[in-house]
Chain A
Amino acid sequence: MTLPERLAAARTWSRTRPRKTLLEEFEQVYLRNVDVLMGYFARRCGDPHTVADLTSETFVRAMDGFARFDPRRGSDRAWLFGIAAHVFARHCEQSAGGRDAVARLGGHRTLDADEIEELAGRIDSEREGAALMRRCARLPAVERAAVELVDLEGLTPKEAALALGVSGVAFRKRLSRARSRLRKEYQNNG
């Protein structure tokens, strides 16, 4: 096949290749990450409704911005954790935080008993993680976030840096400092 023929074939393939819509792509992102994000909020909140609202808000924002998400710049999980961190910070600033998501979903969706039980179970299953977070309570917020994203959520330092919007070098310093502090605290407490 000559070069012009190969180019023509490539153009034809490009035109006819069935592509996933962004909705279909986002669906996979949702399925891969919804559980870990619920866990992220479950470690911070003891109320199933709050966990539901914050999880909803995170995915509403993610869905709104998904067309601008560039997978070549980092994993979808890191990107979602970045959104989740903003959502939780806003929730902390405003006690009514997270309600916007419900409004944007067309009105408050009342959780039924099964859903509440499911979310309560999730909160319960995150007790160990929540305990670790309490041990990290004395760390500065940025170091606490570093430990959580890498040691609890399993993100790579590069992904976690992206999620927190800091450089890789700065993030590694934070993580190293946080682990060092925790180690010392553990040793001091016997």
Chain B
Amino acid sequence: MAKFTENLWNDLAQEHGAALAQATRPGPGRARRRGLIAGSTLVLAAAGTALGLGLTSTSGSTPAGGTAPGGIRKVVTAAYTITEMSNGSVLVQINQRKSIVASDAKLSSMGIQEKVAVFPKPGAATVSGPVTCKPVDGAPKQPQVQVLLGTNGTEVIAGGNTGAGTWHLGSCVVFPTSDKGNSGPGNTGNGGAGG
């Protein structure tokens, strides 16, 4: 993508992406049935990085279950790892280039009634570790959801459809399943304070 079109898309996604990611198209001849979207939905709201991560395709791997050190349940695939920690929080580790949709489905099946939107930003991460998602008004406070890109949050995400460059997880927010979404950037991510 050329620079202008890439920057425009990033702006559009940043400002309007979360709402559209949560929206559904009404079916033929009937009202929108939001209730069909059960469980949680994990979406990438900043399109530039969403593309760069290549998270729109589904993972072909079968989730492997198990118990993680410090966790009570762990689901591992090539695309993502979801760990329910012993303190009740949930860690979603996105392993790049695979399906966020698949991790969404898995979160749903785990009964987590939250939708998560992550907002990646260009540039290198300055802080390592997972990013704690900020619940918007009305969103459940528990379980706390954290998202980690790669193994420690500081990896360079190779350019895919984002265009070349370095990206990091800028922020993360949690919506209730009944919410249309919020375009707010949420908690500061791996860009450091104020990022």
Contact = CB atoms under 8 A, between A and B. Distances in A.
Interface of A: 16, 18-24, 26-27, 30-31, 34-35, 38, 52, 55-56, 59-60, 63-64, 66-70, 104-106, 109, 111-112, 114-115, 118-119
Contact of B4 (A59, A66, A118): A118
Nearest to A19: B101
B9 A27 contact: yes
Q: Determine the interface band of chain B, counting residues with CB < 8 A from chain A.
A: 35 or more
Interface in B149-192: 161
B23 A67 contact: yes
Contacts of B25: 22, 67-70
Interface stretch (B10-18, B85-93, B123-131, B140-148): B10-18
Nearest to B36: A15
A60 B1 contact: no
B20 A26 contact: yes
Contacts of A109: 7, 11
Contacts of B9: 27, 30, 34
A99 B26 CA distance: 31
Contacts of B20: 21-23, 26, 63, 66-67
A66 B26 CA distance: 11
B33 interface: no
B46 to A, nearest CB: 9
B99 interface: yes
Q: Which 8 pairs across A and B sit closest by C-beta, in order of nearness?
A: A18-B101, A23-B21, A115-B4, A67-B23, A23-B20, A21-B21, A63-B16, A34-B5
B57 to A, nearest CB: 9
A104 B8 CA distance: 12
B30 interface: no
